[in-house]
Amino acid sequence: MAQAAIELIGINKSFGAVRANRDINLEVARGTIHGIVGENGAGKSTLMSILYGFYQADSGEIRVGGKPVSIHTSNDAIALGIGMVHQHFMLVDNFTVLENVILGAENDALLKSSIAKARSELDRLEREYGLEVDPDALIEELPVGLQQRVEILKALYRGAEILILDEPTGVLTPAEADHLFRILKQLKDQGKTIVLITHKLREIMAITDTVSVMRQGTMVATRTTKETTVGELAELMVGRRVLLRVEKGESEAGAIKLSVKNLTVKDSRGVTMVDDVSFDVRGGEIVGIAGVAGNGQSELLEAISGIRHAVSGEVTLDGKPIDLTGKADPGELRDRGLAHVPEDRHHVGLVLAFEENENSILGYHDDERYLKGPFLDVDAIMADAKDKIEKYDIRPGNPRLKTANFSGGNQQKIVLAREMEQDPGVLIVGQPTRGVDVGAIEFIHKRLIAMRDQGKAVLVVSVELDEIRSLSDRILVMFAGRVVGERGPEATEGELGLLMAGVEHQEAAE
């Protein structure tokens, strides 16, 4: 085995009563890509923050290149050749690429020589690694993929030999993610060591040489990627067998619950995002809408849930028309039995600064069950929240906790519990498992299927093709604002992929 670039020996770290890292041992070989997987809250980020000097370990030893080191600040880590690409980019949005690169690594008190040096250095990095980016572009004007490239350049400019990437693909489109992986492989070929933190097992299988699995603050296993499987890793992460594909019976489609005819929606810039879309959703079936992000799915969801006004179209709910072009508001739709789990739970689905119990009735707070005269019935709300926490296994099970302190998966469960427990006739779900870890994905999928089996109409929009295929009874594919095809759940990934790319659509048009 090649010499170790990093060794972590017996690392412990507690935050108050929470032991974020327990006796962690990790060895990362030089010139390899080492994956670290684990559910949200397993302690991956804490461990890497210790390595990068953001936190100090309570006990344990860090060795870099075989030598014991002490890392007290990010500066120490940078000096040791450790670079980090954070999940939320550490960039100044209204600075240029150059300014961001030299920030903290300036030559002297004046900027002139630093800028000149950075310019030639970026040029060299661009040639060596194919990391192209306009040095004078403003960060806020760059797409997310390029912003991430700037983060990588920042690390390389500081002479990083070891690059830590924290959930790097969370914000990337599939194409951008592929590009990132090519860059990482190239960096590896040049002898750099890469540590990749993620909870997406597919990425681990695609790019890493070795993978370590963390669970609840401990390091549970390290495997050579070639010799392991997604199933084994998922099991190690969650601590029990995980169904990667939910089992479900045949659907028994009933009457049409939601009918959409000729719906057209424009976005705030006036661009037509949903173009003359028609479909029905029947009781007892899950209809999945697949498509590359940005092809009108978000606007479609917003229009049907009453958040965004449609330009034209006829929509009926349980056979009765609803006017989505101006009259209907989300509250009215809720009253008529349409529940909506929004795509963006942080901005639309939850108020993160509220306590869990408050979020668990949000939007239904004027329901008589939660009121005592003109006031909120706190006891009833708490009882209701506790009930939902139990049914949906929301952790930690404390209804008084601030919602921001729950992990992504548990936040999603809070929203799902709120909407599903209203017993709606129609449930609309956007990105049911975005930012949700493996164990919770399984739970959420089972719940959605249970809704279906109770005879509810379920509409799911997701950019995860696997999810669409495993959940849906019928799959609609959206491209450029139109529904370009309908397939059954047996459709292959390739077939759907072609539809999503608009290939068949273009051929048909010609």
Q: Give the footprint of other proteins on this chain (CB under 8 A).
A: 45-46, 49, 52, 54-55, 73-75, 78, 84, 86, 88, 90-95, 99-100, 102-106, 108-112, 114
Closer of 54 and 370 to other proteins (Cβ): 54
Dihedral of CA atoms 300, 438, 187, 99 in degrees, nearest 10, equals 50
DSSP state letters, 367-424: SGGGEETTEE-HHHHHHHHHHHHHHHT-SS--TTSBGGGS-HHHHHHHHHHHHHTT--
Shortest gap between Cβ of 106 and other proteins (angstroms)?
A: 4
CA distance 477 to 485: 5
Shortest gap between Cβ of 288 and other proteins (angstroms)?
A: 35
Closer of 95 and 354 to other proteins (Cβ): 95
Closer of 55 and 392 to other proteins (Cβ): 55
Tokens for 387, please give them. Answer: 């009930």
Nearest 5°: phi and psi at 482? Answer: -120, 155
Tokens for 329, please give them. Answer: 């508001």
Closer of 71 and 414 to other proteins (Cβ): 71
Phi-psi region of 267 (alpha: psi -120 to 50; beta: other; left: phi over 0): beta
Nearest to 434 by CA among 169, 245, 144: 169
Closer of 95 and 279 to other proteins (Cβ): 95
Shortest gap between Cβ of 411 and other proteins (angstroms)?
A: 17
Closer of 153 and 429 to other proteins (Cβ): 153
Phi-psi region of 467 (alpha: psi -120 to 50; beta: other; left: phi over 0): alpha
CA distance 312 to 216: 50
Closer of 151 and 302 to other proteins (Cβ): 151
Shortest gap between Cβ of 377 and other proteins (angstroms)?
A: 34
Q: What angle do CA 106, 69, 39 make, to 5 degrees?
A: 90
Shortest gap between Cβ of 307 and other proteins (angstroms)?
A: 25
Shortest gap between Cβ of 92 and other proteins (angstroms)?
A: 5
Name the amino acid, one letter, at 10: G
Q: Are 100 and 139 in contact (CB under 8 A)?
A: yes
Shortest gap between Cβ of 104 and other proteins (angstroms)?
A: 3
DSSP state letters, 397-411: --TTSBGGGS-HHHH
CA distance 56 to 71: 8
Shortest gap between Cβ of 105 and other proteins (angstroms)?
A: 7
Closer of 95 and 370 to other proteins (Cβ): 95
Which residues have C-beta within 8 Å of that of residue 303, sequence separation ≥ 6? 263, 265, 274, 309, 310, 313, 324
- Beta strands at 312-317 and 256-266: parallel, antiparallel or unpaired: antiparallel
Shortest gap between Cβ of 355 and other proteins (angstroms)?
A: 19
Preceding amide of 396 cis, omega within 30: yes
Residue position matching structure tokens 């499987």: 229
Closer of 111 and 244 to other proteins (Cβ): 111
Shortest gap between Cβ of 98 and other proteins (angstroms)?
A: 10
Closer of 73 and 224 to other proteins (Cβ): 73
Pairs from 117-126 (Cβ < 8 Å, separation ≥ 24):
118/157, 121/157, 122/97, 122/98, 122/153, 122/157, 125/153, 125/156, 125/157
